[in-house]
Amino acid sequence: MVVRPTLSFSDEDKASTLQPHDDALVVTLRIGGYDVRRVLVDQGTRAEIMYLNLYKGLGLKPRDLTNYHSSLVGFDGKVVIPIGQIKLPVQIGSKVVEVNSIVMDAYSPYTAIVVRPWLHAMEAVSSTLLLKVKYSSSD
């Protein structure tokens, strides 16, 4: 039987945030081998998103994409037809999970969005109140 540490948050975790707030949970992740800032952790959706600026910044090409045939709604409320979908490794510490991201050419203050399936695959717990993500790791 594998014993895993309990993941929880305490008042100590609150010390580095200004309370009260309604800020989004935004992190830096290693995506496709690069440290990527302004990644939104969104617990309310299932669509992992990569915006066009990040896609281009990672040096990815159209041949790297697979088709994606559904439309989505951007932050500005407009319907967006995705460019395609791409599978890339997303890493925190020593943990790496392959993520299928929908690539969109739309306005966003973020470079990418990771959602519940990513949190579950990472066996992570997030707190929007404390603006933190915790996960167990051997390192």
Range of weakest confidence among 2-6, 81-85, 115-119? 2-6
Q: pLDDT-derived band of residue 138, with 50, 70 and 90 as boundaries?
A: low
**Omega within 30 of 0 (cis) for the link into 89:** no
Domains and CATH numbers, the chain: 24-129 (2.40.70.10)
Q: What are the tens digits of pLDDT across the range 37-66?
A: 999 999 887 889 999 999 999 999 999 999
Rounded distance, CA 51 to CA 113, Å? 9
Rounded distance, CA 22 to CA 104, Å? 26
Q: What are the tens digits of pLDDT across the range 68-79?
A: 999 998 878 889
